[in-house]
Amino acid sequence: MALLEILQYPDPRLKQVAGPVESFDDALRSYIADLEETMRAGPGGVGIAAPQTGHLKRVVIVDVSSKPKIEQHGRMVMVNPEIITYDGFAKGREGCMSVPDYTGNVIRAERIEVEYYDEHGKKHQIESGGFEARAIQHELDHLEGVLFLDRLVSRRSDLFRRKVYKE
């Protein structure tokens, strides 16, 4: 396994749309192992998307199990994910390994249903809420070339400089 380089804003590759994964092979699983190692090595470490490493494919990993006492599904490798329902709205603070110096308040759906394939090509459908749903929406945005910075209601009141990266 290997740690991958995380692209930093304003790298133009973070603005590109990722393409679908077409084969669930060993090369995909090997890449996902590297992506997961990179996520776990980073501060925060609750999610990562392939485009953050310059790999323009529709792969994300979300794992919010480090947060105590919240509704969550543990480790999820999501290939070709799609949000099929959105419900409610909530404003919450987000950070991103590609935007290490800032956090921001973003409005997201409170509950979502997501369809995705795991790294072996098995299809899953889950319902997610709260912080996990926020993390999933944040990571899926990366597949469309969208950063949380693009979703701030106001740069003046919803963007915060951080001194030390912590989650």
Q: Which residues are catalytic?
A: 139
Strands ordered across the beta sheet of 159-161: 90-94, 102-108, 159-161
Cβ count within 10 A of residue 87 = 12
Q: Which stretch binds Ni ion (CB under 5 A): 22-30, 62-70, 94-102, 108-116?
A: 94-102
Q: Which residue number has the CB closest to Ni ion?
A: 96
Query: Which residue, among 134, 133, 111, 114, has the nearest Cα to 125 in the 3D structure?
Result: 114
- Read off the DSSP letter of residue 57: B
CB of 49 to Ni ion, least distance (A): 6
Q: Which stretch binds Ni ion (CB under 5 A): 5-13, 34-42, 91-99, 100-108?
A: 91-99
Residue 60's H or E segment, with its range, is strand 59-62
Tokens of 21: 């994964």
Q: Total residues at the site for Ni ion (CB under 5 A)?
A: 1
CB of 142 to Ni ion, least distance (A): 6
CB of 65 to Ni ion, least distance (A): 18
Rounded Cα distance, 71 and 128, in Å = 8
CB of 147 to Ni ion, least distance (A): 7
The amino acid at 50: A
CB 53 within 8 A of CB 39: no
The residue (of 61 and 96) whose beta carbon lies closer to Ni ion is: 96
The residue (of 25 and 167) whose beta carbon lies closer to Ni ion is: 167
The answer to whether residue 96 forms part of the interface with Ni ion (CB under 5 A) is yes
Which stretches of the chain bind Ni ion, using CB under 5 A? 96
